[in-house]
Structure 1
Amino acid sequence: MAQRQGTQIMYYPYLRGKQFELLAIKELADVMRESKSVHPVIEPVRDVDSSNTLLRNMAVLAQKRVPSTVIINPQVGEIKGTNKSEQLLATLRPILDVNPQMKIGIILSNDEELVKLTHILNHQDRQFKVDLFYGSSNIQNECMNNLSKSCDVDIHFAEDKYVTRRYRSTFPTRRTALLRDSFARQIRNQDYFTLGESIFSEDHLFFREDNYVGFGDFQTIGSQFNEGGALPRVVAIHLTYQRPNEEAIYIRHFCSTPNGSSADTAGKYFEALTKLVTFVDENRLDNSAIATFRSHLTNRSYAGLGVIKKLSIQNHIYVALGAENND
């Protein structure tokens, strides 16, 4: 990404702490470190008592000095709410202590959670740097004032910066980043089959005009949380890209042909993959994620649906970086 007027512009991919989403950013740690422009946000969804996946992957980002934010009051998944917030903070503490570029995040969900989180932060032996994530909730001013005294708020994340205006006198910083869900999720994978090319996002073009310090999205997954489940009747690969001489980011969905059956997922993948590889070859698109897709087709290798999601995320991060560089 480019640097304008002495200000580092950041791209904020928002991910859930599932295995392949964490692997996506872990494997791109060197790319993100070199760019100095990618700041992943992770909302953990797995219980830290039963899995060390979060800590293991975040440790790699810390080692590479990749800036990141981990939310301590997830709103989806196994540790939703504040019941595990204190334990989550304690688990992350060794990384937070050695990596000054890592922050904690708080979703402004409701007053009760904010009171609990403020209590937890007040009983720490240091003041943490915190990013706030705004939704549709209306938090009382008293809760926000108390929170502001308990931590060092760095960035306000919101789809509309005007939702932060009522609190702007509460916090020393007014830095706001745009966070938007640009993925038009369909109910079933087969619903993507008839969709053609569409614009995914133009936020990278206009966020500066609205005085945002950066832009973020939910990649090609969307903000809706899904635990996963049955085998799909249609395999869909979501690919973002830029067309030559155009600044917008576009998206296409490469799908296997609906046949009413959930059998032969690997065969469905290769059918969708053949369409994707034909498209990227015709349009001369390339990065490490696309190269891996190509190798899957060449070697007829299928590693599972999680790997498809991982590669789609990685491709999108490359596209976001390229879009900013071309801006």
Structure 2
Amino acid sequence: MYYPYLRGRQFELIALREYAHQKGDNNKVIPIIEPVKSTFNSMKLAIPKLNSGNVRFALILNPQDGDCKNPEIILQNLSRELEDRSTWIPTFILTNNLKEVSELLTRYSFMEVMVICSDLVDTSTKEFNNLVLSASIKYIVTKENRTLKRALRGQNKNLIRLDDKFEAQSRNSDYLSIPEQKFTEEHTFFPEDGYNGFSDYTVIASEFKEGGSTPYAVAIHLTYQKDNNEIWIRHFTSESNFGRENIQGKFEEAARKAVIFINENNINTHAAKELIEYYNLQKYPGLGMVKKISIKHHLELINNIL
């Protein structure tokens, strides 16, 4: 299974909503969602769509980024959407908060819980072992950790490897010199490497950033599968990057490159078709929608491969 790590922002959630509707009958994607907004309107729209599409999701109840880091506020605001616990996985990020997380598991009687090991948690301690080996924990998400992998062998836990695959550049124009890069091969090797699934931050940076100004350049990021089954990422970047004016023209420049690549390689995801339609109509959808297209395309690609 693939466990993409996404923040609960508007366009990430739109990507999930549309993926759930368009994915077809089979699904190998369980998104991990970290709420980062103190308003929950986008979450209230997304969760019913995920449910109707039979896309189970993991919801982080103690976010480390953004505006809302209180589990009780999240559970209260989404009480109706989260009423059926079979549709979602309660999830906690582990830092130096093991006692707090243990208390929350008891208070809410959570079972089949997911924990995500941050760089702040010491996985060698007795306290950590007692928590992750408890009956309530089923999923453990971690960066490559051989010691932890050995400790969990035979413990009937789902170990998921988390990697930061997207190499973000400081400026969009920097992608002009990086037309393509190898992205991942975890979809091929995670079972033989001792994992039950794999996770990454899709085609966006792992570092959380709020908003942003109008860029000098537009870059569209699309993943694709090579003949050797490796997944690579192509960066399609505008050329007229000397000022912030004419963002629609910059989008057209980047989209033209992407559409040529899509047609030449017979890429037929719903997201790719959407990008082609915007280009053919000479319509600029906004940078948020461009990001949504890249994320949704990646989810579709991985699901089709798996």
In the alignment, which residue of structure 2 is the partner of 1:264? 246
Alignment of 1:61-72 (within 5 A): 61-72=50-61
Deviation of 1:252 (Å): 0.9
Q: Which one of 264, 270, 275 corresponds to residue 257 of structure 2?
A: 275
One-letter amino acid of the structure 2 residue matched with residue 11 of structure 1:
Y
Structure-2 change in CA distance of 1:93 and 1:167 (3 Å)? farther
Provide the rounded CA distance (Å) in 2 between the counterparts of 1:156 and 1:182.
19
Q: Could you tell me which runs of 5 or more consecutive residues in structure 2 were left unpaired when the two chains were aligned.
A: none
Q: Is the 8 A contact 1:14 1:42 kept in 2?
A: yes
Deviation of 1:118 (Å): 2.6
Provide the rounded CA distance (Å) in 2 between the counterparts of 1:146 and 1:177.
17
Structure-2 change in CA distance of 1:119 and 1:256 (3 Å)? same
In the alignment, which residue of structure 2 is the partner of 1:154? 138
Q: Is the 8 A contact 1:196 1:253 kept in 2?
A: yes
Q: Which one of 65, 68, 81 corresponds to residue 79 of structure 1?
A: 68
Structure-2 change in CA distance of 1:198 and 1:42 (3 Å)? same
Structure-2 change in CA distance of 1:11 and 1:165 (3 Å)? closer
Q: How high is the TM-score relative to the length of structure 2?
A: 0.91
Structure-2 change in CA distance of 1:104 and 1:160 (3 Å)? same
Provide the rounded CA distance (Å) in 2 between the counterparts of 1:228 and 1:127.
34
Q: Is the 8 A contact 1:141 1:167 kept in 2?
A: no
My pick for the range that moved more, 101-110 or 310-319, is 101-110
Q: Could you tell me which runs of 5 or more consecutive residues in structure 1 were left unpaired when the two chains were aligned.
A: 1-9
Provide the rounded CA distance (Å) in 1 between the counterparts of 2:293 and 2:284.
13
Percent identity (aligned): 34
User: Within the alignment, does 1:323 sit opposite 2:281 as a pair?
Assistant: no
Deviation of 1:166 (Å): 8.1
Provide the rounded CA distance (Å) in 2 between the counterparts of 1:260 and 1:323.
39
Residues 79-126 of structure 1: CA deviation (Å, up to 9, x unaligned): 24xxx112212334433432413111111122xx332333333222x3
Provide the rounded CA distance (Å) in 2 between the counterparts of 1:39 and 1:262.
37
Moved >4 Å (runs of 4+): 146-149
Provide the rounded CA distance (Å) in 1 between the counterparts of 2:129 and 2:23.
33
Residues 276-323 of structure 1: CA deviation (Å, up to 9, x unaligned): 101111122121101011000111111210000000001111221233
In the alignment, which residue of structure 1 is the partner of 2:76? 90
One-letter amino acid of the structure 2 residue matched with residue 226 of structure 1:
K
Provide the rounded CA distance (Å) in 1 between the counterparts of 2:29 and 2:195.
15
User: Within the alignment, does 1:54 sit opposite 2:43 as a pair?
Assistant: yes
Alignment of 1:175-324 (within 5 A): 175-243=158-226, 245-324=227-306
Deviation of 1:23 (Å): 0.6
Provide the rounded CA distance (Å) in 2 between the counterparts of 1:33 and 1:152.
32
Structure-2 change in CA distance of 1:69 and 1:186 (3 Å)? same
User: Within the alignment, does 1:34 sit opposite 2:25 as a pair?
Assistant: yes
In the alignment, which residue of structure 2 is the partner of 1:7? none
One-letter amino acid of the structure 1 residue matched with residue 189 of structure 2:
F
Q: Is the 8 A contact 2:7 2:34 kept in 1?
A: yes
How many residues align? The count is: 304
SS of alignment partner, residue 301 of structure 1: coil
In the alignment, which residue of structure 1 is the partner of 2:110? 127
In the alignment, which residue of structure 2 is the partner of 1:22? 13
Provide the rounded CA distance (Å) in 2 between the counterparts of 1:319 and 1:15.
16
Structure-2 change in CA distance of 1:135 and 1:313 (3 Å)? same
Structure-2 change in CA distance of 1:278 and 1:166 (3 Å)? closer
Structure-2 change in CA distance of 1:148 and 1:58 (3 Å)? farther
Structure-2 change in CA distance of 1:290 and 1:52 (3 Å)? same
